[in-house]
Structure 1
Amino acid sequence: MPAIEQYFPHDYREARHAFIAAAEANDLGVTSRLHPAENGADGKPLFLDTATIGERDAKTALLLISGTHGVEGYFGSGVQTGLLREGLAQRAAKGTKIVLLHALNPFGFSWDRRVNEDNADINRNFADFANPPRNPAYDELADAIALSDLSPGTMKAANAKLRAYSDKYGAFKLQEAISTGQYHHPGGIYFGGARESWSHRMLQDVFREELKGVKTLIAIDFHTGLGEHGAAEMITEDLPGSAAYKRAKTMWGDALQSSEAGESVSPPLQGTVDKAVAHWMKGRELTFAALEVGTRSTRDVFNALRRDNWLHLNAKPNDPDWARVKQEIRDAFYPDTADWKHSVWNHAAKAVDAALAAIA
């Protein structure tokens, strides 16, 4: 059996090939949805791929999602491929199925971006675009969040403005202002988009096809970038006391934290996949959590996002800053070390084990 770290890919193309090979080794068919308008960093087509284990018409399902935030897909893809290689295909109980959704945002995965081809954050893209939410705090700080250039002077001035806000309102309020989601600064970060993205529409399609008729669903969306290096939280948007929170707490124990209740490393968010799935599953039983694993400090992750945002708005792949900034954002969301991979693999395997036990 390969060492755990071998399941984690070096790039999107390798990740896709490894996922498909692992599915086919288990006699699983793969459904591939081709991105109609974009290619990867290697110039080749991009796909959202799914594989289904178990009974196609099962009413109880486990959904495992990777790559919602593009560059975070190294983690989720590695987990999906590793689970397939380590026997997941034999673990669907009678009357259940497991749906693996690989690379919800393949553009971001291939280009080492957290966002998609429209600079949109897929986990903020499920909003009412006729009346998008406002984020006045982001409006106030927009010119300090998204950099006009990468010079030390610009960074220093921008950081001074952010520091003043933090001193006045607190560090968590600053994090909330920046990352909750915004819909009026398309050149900024955490932009929820101006319309439904291709990834948004394809996730809907997965629910129409692979998850049609499901009455009970557990969903785990794999993420990186928040929390201590190698640590993990199962983040729910359900409030303590709700039936969904109680189910999740029974399943994942002390790892579960509610962002809406202020328990989590994440502030409350707008336009999330979680909210969309809850809407689509209305009247049925849903237990949804994001498995968030820590990578680097909040400051390092934030600065990597700012530089990457500037890069894609102002530079080309032959720009002298390109390789350095791309390595920085990759490192911010994917520490390419054996220790980190073993740690996050263990968190993921434990979370999936608990979910499988709950639907058995």
Structure 2
Amino acid sequence: MDESNSWAETYHDCVEQVVDLGTQHGWTIDSQSLVDHELYRTTFMKLGPERPRKLLVVTSGLHGVEGFLGSAIQAMIIRHFSNRLDPERESAILLVHAINPFGFDQLRRFDENNVDLNRNFLLRGEEYQGANEGYRNLNRLLNPPNWPRFEIPFALQAGWKIARHGLNSLQRAVAGGQYDYPSGLFFGGQEPTRTLRALEKVLLPEIQSTPATLHFDIHSGLGLSGEYQFLVGHELSAEEIGLLKVLSANRMKFPEEDKAYEAKGNFNRWIRHHAPMASSICLEYGTFPPVEVLGALRAENAAHHWGEPGSNHFREAKNRLKEAFFPSSRSWRSRVYNESKSLFDRIFDLWLNQ
């Protein structure tokens, strides 16, 4: 049965839905505030033994507004897979819901300090500074210094840049992360965030204490509409590659194949660095063409910094961003639901219960 018509549409409804489902199906639930705001909670939900032999981790909402899709998939996992764990295999599932609840609730991709959390997870010796030359050249286009009500449409401006430099060059310039423009897009921060420090204490020990972990961090926006892909941000063994190719139905991408999504400070690389026994994958679902998604990000960021909260323009920018990362199309949602259920069927049958 396709339950995509029951997906929640607000942050608080998403939290209520997964917590209620988790309670009904016997999950251990712990809601914590990873940021200095008691209204915003990140929920940790676990099913299975305390010290498992294998651990499936599914995280959502690192990019705020992308949490709607992540929450929907996590709700599907609770509904359909809670009774699928084979107790003899000593496996467990850990769901981390709404890592960035501020962005989730406020329809932002970034946190309360405008930090793109998936650019903040730097490793020891890496510095929170710098921006590539491509980003510097695009800064005024990406981050207009005021509310851009009257201008040449962004699609035309971006089209001119693409014609001159190519789409991949544009994507590489913006998606890699930057640390010099605090109010700009893809800002990685100037120090480790509270979220990073909290996950270091709460999530890493769970993964580090397990002999084998498969971690999926759910995102949306990049790729073919309604289709998922595994984006790999760290080296894998031949055995891992073989398994992930089967699980993904051969939908894997490595940085060397497509530089457009290679990002400094990404969460998956950080997990792998601190837990070498874990395969950490970005599970990405496509929505709209890249320029359309980037235009929505740009408009929301301008509204956030320069717009008037509560105005029609402000609301339009917020709703446009939500649509870019969580399309309202019934066909899109149905396709994502069915593909996700098939994917986790394979994960349970071919890995977790083996």
Q: TM-score, normalised by structure 2?
A: 0.90
Q: Which runs of 4+ in 1 moved over 3 A?
A: 128-134, 149-160, 162-165, 208-212, 238-244
Q: Which amino acid aligns with 1:57?
A: R
Matches within 5 A, 1:110-189: 110-127=105-122, 130=127, 132=129, 134-151=131-148, 153-156=150-153, 160=157, 162-189=158-185
Q: Which runs of 5+ in 2 are unaligned?
A: none
Whether the 8 Å CA contact 1:105–1:116 is kept in 2: the answer is yes
C-alpha displacement of 1:294: 1.4
Task: Give CA-to-partner distance per residue, 1:128-149, whole Å, 9 cap, x none.
Answer: 5645454221112111111233
Which of these residues, 262, 265, 280, is aligned with residue 257 of structure 2? 262
By how many angstroms is 1:83 displaced? 1.8
Structure 1 distance, partners of 2:154, 2:229, is 34
Indicate if the aligned counterparts of 1:71 and 1:112 stay in contact, CA closer than 8 A.
yes
Aligned to 1:213: 209
2:241 paired residue number: 245
**Which position in structure 1 is the counterpart of 2:8?**
9
SS at match of 1:253: coil
**Which residue number corresponds to residue 266 of structure 2?**
272
The 1:232–1:336 alpha-carbon spacing in structure 2 relative to 1, beyond 3 Å, is same
Q: Which moved more, 1:28-37 or 1:236-245?
A: 236-245
Pair 158,251 (structure 1): closer, same or farther in 2 beyond 3 Å: closer
Q: Which residue of 2 is the match for residue 358 of structure 1?
A: 351
Who is 1:65 aligned against?
Answer: 59
Following superposition, the deviation at residue 246 of structure 1 comes to 3.2
Tell me the secondary structure at the aligned position of residue 287 of structure 1. Answer: strand
**Could you say if the C-alpha distance between residues 158 and 78 of structure 1 is closer, same or farther in structure 2, counting changes exceeding 3 Å?**
closer
Measure how far apart 1:303 and its partner are.
0.8
The one-letter amino acid of 1:116's match is D
Partner of 2:41: 47
Distance 1:240 1:54, change over 3 A: closer
Would the alpha carbon gap of residues 319 and 157 (structure 1) be closer, same or farther in structure 2, given more than 3 Å must change? closer
The question of 1:96 aligning with 2:83 is answered: no
2:172, 2:262 within 8 Å by CA — same for their partners in 1? yes
Give the conservation status (yes or no) of the 8 Å contact 1:189–1:306. Answer: yes
- Aligned partners of 1:92 and 1:197: how far apart in 2? 37
- Which residue of 1 is the match for residue 81 of structure 2? 87
Once residues 81 and 239 of structure 2 are traced to their aligned partners in structure 1, the CA distance between those partners, rounded to angstroms, is 31
Work out whether residues 240 and 279 of structure 2, in 8 Å CA contact, stay in contact via their aligned partners in 1.
yes
- SS in structure 2 at match of 1:275: helix
User: Secondary structure of the residue that 1:15 maps to in structure 2?
Assistant: helix
Q: Distance in 2 between matches of 1:70 and 1:329?
A: 11
State percent identity of aligned pairs: 23
Structure 1 vs Structure 2 CA RMSD: 2.3
Counterpart contact for 2:128–2:190, Cα < 8 Å: no
Q: State the distance in 2 between where 1:166 and 1:193 align.
A: 28
Q: Structure 1 60/297 Cα, relative in aligned 2: closer, same or farther at 3 Å?
A: same
Q: Indicate how the Cα distance of structure 1 residues 52 and 7 shifts in structure 2: closer, same or farther if over 3 A, else same.
A: farther
What is the count of residue pairs matched by the alignment? 349
Out of 60-69 and 229-238, give the one that drifted further.
Answer: 229-238
Give the TM-score, by structure 1 length. 0.89
| Deviation, structure 1 residue 158 | 9.6
Letter in 2 for 1:124: R
CA distance in structure 1 between the partners assigned to 2:83 and 2:30 by the alignment: 16
